[in-house]
Structures are given as C-alpha cells and as structure tokens.
Amino acid sequence: MKIIFPKKRDLLPGIIIFLLIIVVICLNRAYAHIYNTIGAANLLSVNNQESYIINNGMDSSNIIYVALGDSLSAGVGAEKMEDSFPYLLAEKMARAGKITLHARAIPGELTSNLLSDLVPLAIKDNPDIITLLIGVNDLHDFISARSFRADYDKVLERLTQETAAKIYVINIPFIGADKMMLPPYQVAFDLQTREFNSIIKELAARYSVDYIDLYTPTVSLFKKSGDHYSADLFHPSAAGYKIWADIIYDSTNK
C-alpha cells in the first residue's frame, strides 16, 4: 500500500487559515485588554455639569468660561475637579480677575451627541471663552472620519453663530499607555488620531477659531506609562492634566 502525502501547495490554504485565526484571536485579546484595563481601574467621575467661581479679588470683572467636551474636560482620572485642565486653566486666566467656569462635559460623549446634549447649554451660558475638546470617543466607537467632520462642523457652526465667545479648539491628544494599549492598537489609534486632528485643524481655519495643538508636545510622553496617567492608563492624572493646562494656557497667550 502506497502512502500519499499531501503536497506543500495543498497544505498552504490550511496554514493561511490557521495563521489568520491566530491573528484574529491576538487582535481580539489586545483590544479587550484596553477596556479590561480601563474597567478594572473603576475611576470615579468628578463633579461635572457644575459651575465654579475662581476669584483673585483684584477687580470686579467676570469672564464666563465654558469647557465643552467629554471625560477629558470633565477631569476623569483626577480626584477632584480642581485638578482638571479646565479648572487649572481658569485659575491661570483668573490672575487678571474673576472667572466663572461652566463644566459642560459628559464622560463618553460623542461629537454627534454634543450637539444636542451640551451645545445648547453652552450657548445659554453666554460665554466669553470656550474650549472645545472632543473626538476621542468617536475614535474608539469607530465613527467614520466623514461623520466626525460633519458633526464637528455643525458644533463649530452653532458656537460661532450663536455666541460671541473666543473659541479655542483643542486637537485630540494621544492617550493610551503602552501597558494598556497593546500592539497594533497603539499604532492604529495614533494614525486615526492624526487623521481626525487634520479635520479639526481644517475646520478651525474655516471658522476662524483658534487651534491648539495638544497632540504634538505630549504624544511621546503619553505613549508611555507614568505618573501622568491615572490608574486606568488612559485618562490623565492630576499631573497629566497640569501638563495639558500649561500647554493650553501658553497657546492662548501667543
């Protein structure tokens, strides 16, 4: 009886399928690791949707500042709102007088939801200054660049037409430490972040609002673990938010 062994070319499809299965499993586990790490940290949300008054007592002026966005503007990762970048920024601006900070930020907020959830409230605040930081959840929810552009455009259209505020749009910083965001997701997320930031920069120019680049000066640091991150290795810590606040404040004073 003659034993016939399969030829190498006959084995190739099976080998390719096997390797593809391994790759899919690895990608799935790496992706799950991101959200398992964030969930395990069980971060508490600081108080948001509230108002804060920062007054150095030097004069009677009162600047209304609205921080519009998601968990990054709500200060998630810090133990208190006073350690968030909007509050730290307001403190710096209050050196010239009194600042009333309205925190219009909801953790997990998408740009599309911002239009109905928070933009109307921001307009009613009659702000002098607005910072807009939104988009990281769009990336993680696989919102297309086309949809993100359309939603962001509508947000800026309303803010520029219905307020007299000085508007600062802050591009999306890279967040996701190497111990949490395993390969290839850190690379993929970085590429997506750059793509969305190019959209934000384009729209900022179209509406003649100030564009603040938070991504470039922080990307190298925030790709690595460190005390700039909170326990979930995704949201900044108080130290991380201070880095952001310093960069944003310097950008507003150029």
CA quadruple 197, 198, 202, 205: dihedral sign: positive
Q: Which domain holds residue 194?
A: 40-252
* Closest-CA residue to 231 (of 51, 78, 60): 78
Number of domains in the chain: 1
In a domain, residue 206? The reply is yes
pTM for this one? 0.84
In a domain, 28, yes or no: no
In a domain, 16, yes or no: no
Does residue 8 sit within a domain? no
The answer to whether residue 21 sits within a structural domain is no
Residues of the chain with pLDDT under 50: 5, 23, 33
In a domain, 1, yes or no: no
Whether residue 4 is contained in a domain is answered as no
Rounded distance between C-alpha atoms, residue 228 and residue 83, angstroms: 12
Residue 194 domain-assigned? yes
Residue 5: its pLDDT value, please? 46
Contact present, 132 and 159 (Cβ < 8 Å): yes
In CATH, what number is assigned to the domain containing residue 110? 3.40.50.1110
